[in-house]
Amino acid sequence: MARARSRYAPDRGLTTRMVSTMFFIGLLYVVLVGVLLAVLRGAWPLILAATGALFVAQFWFSDRIAAYGMGAREVTPQEAPELHGAIDRICALADMPKPRVAVARSDVPNAFATGRSERTALVCATTGLLRRLEPEELEGVLAHEMSHVAHRDVAVMTIASFLGVLAGIVTRVALWGGFARSRGNDPAGVVLMLIPLISAVVYALSFLLTRLLSRYRELSADRTAALLTGRPSALASALTKVSGQMARIPTEDLRKAEPYNAFYFVPAFAAKESLGRLLSSHPTLEQRLDQLARISAGLSRP
C-alpha cells in the first residue's frame, strides 16, 4: 500500500494486517448496520443516509480534528528552519513529496503524522521535542512519522476507528431514546435493549483490531525509518530520551495528551498504573529498542 517510488522498505506484514483489519472492520460495520435495519425497518433510508454521512465526515475530517485537538499549527521554513530542514532531508532520502509541517506548543516531547494520503499529510513535532533532541535524533523521529505516511497506515487507522465511534453513538441513542421508553414485554423493546450490548461488543472488537494493528505499525515504522536513515542508534537514543522525559511532564499535560496516544511517537500516560498501559497502542520500549539493536548489528556486518 506504499507508493511505488518511495524508498521506504515495503512491509508485507503491515500490508497484510491493514487489509485484514479493514476486512474485519467492514464486516463489523455491515453487521451493525444490518441490526439497525432489522430493528428499524421503516427507517432504512434515514439509517443508510446517516451512517453514510458519518463515514464520509470521519474519513474527510478526522485527521483535521485530530491535528486541531493536539494543537498542531502549520509553520513556514522561516518559522521552523530546523524542522523543515530535517523533513526536507528525509523526503530526499525517501523520494517522497514534502508533507505539511506543523508545530504543537506543548512541553510533552512527541511527534505525530495525520492525513489520508501523501498529498494531505501533515507531520508535527511539539516544542518539547524540538527543545530536547539532537538533530540526528530528531531526523530519526521524523523518519518514523514519515514511514506512517509512506505506508498509508495513518489513513487505515483513521478509517478503522470509525466503527468504534459509530457504535458509541448507537449506544447513546439507544440509552437516551427508544431503550429508555421501551417496555420489557414488547418484542421491539427487547431488541432495542440488545442494541447497547451489540454496540459495546462491536466497539470492543473494533478497539482490539485497531490496537493490534497499531502496535505492529509502530515497530514497522521504527524498522523502516532505521533502514532509511542508516542510523538506528539515533532513533533508539530519541526513544530512550523521550520515554525518560515523560516522567518529568506535569500530570495535567499528560492527561490532555493521553487520548491521542495512537497518533504519537511515544505514548503519554498520566500514571504508572494507568489502564492505558495494558491496552497501549504501542509496543513496549524494550521491544522497540531490541529491534533497533538487531538492525544496528545487521548494518554493521561487512
Supply the residues annotated as catalytic: 145
Residue 221, all three cell numbers: 515504522
Residue closest to 113 by CA, chosen among 86, 141, 145, 87: 145
Q: State the Cα–Cα distance between residues 190 and 188, nearest whole angstrom.
A: 5
Is 218 within any annotated ligand binding site?
yes
115, 94 in Cβ contact below 8 A? Answer: no
3-state secondary structure the chain: CCCCCCCCCCCHHHHHHHHHHHHHHHHHHHHHHHHHHHHCHHHHHHHHHHHHHHHHHHHHHHHHHHHHHCCEEECCCCCCHHHHHHHHHHHHHHCCCCCEEEEECCCCCCEEEECCCCCCCEEEEEHHHHHHCCHHHHHHHHHHHHHHHHHCHHHHHHHHCHHHHHHHHHHHHHHHCHHHHCCCCCHHHHHHHHHHHHHHHHHHHHHHHHHHHHHHHHHHHHHHHHHHHCCHHHHHHHHHHHHHHHCCCCHHHHHHHHHHHHHECCCCCCCCCCHHHHCCCCCCHHHHHHHHHHHHHHHHCC
Q: Is 235 within 8 Å of 225 (Cβ atoms)?
A: yes
Please check whether residue 114 is in contact with residue 24, taking contact to mean a CB–CB distance below 8 angstroms: no
Binding site residue list for Zn(2+): 144, 148, 218
Binding site residue list: 144, 148, 218
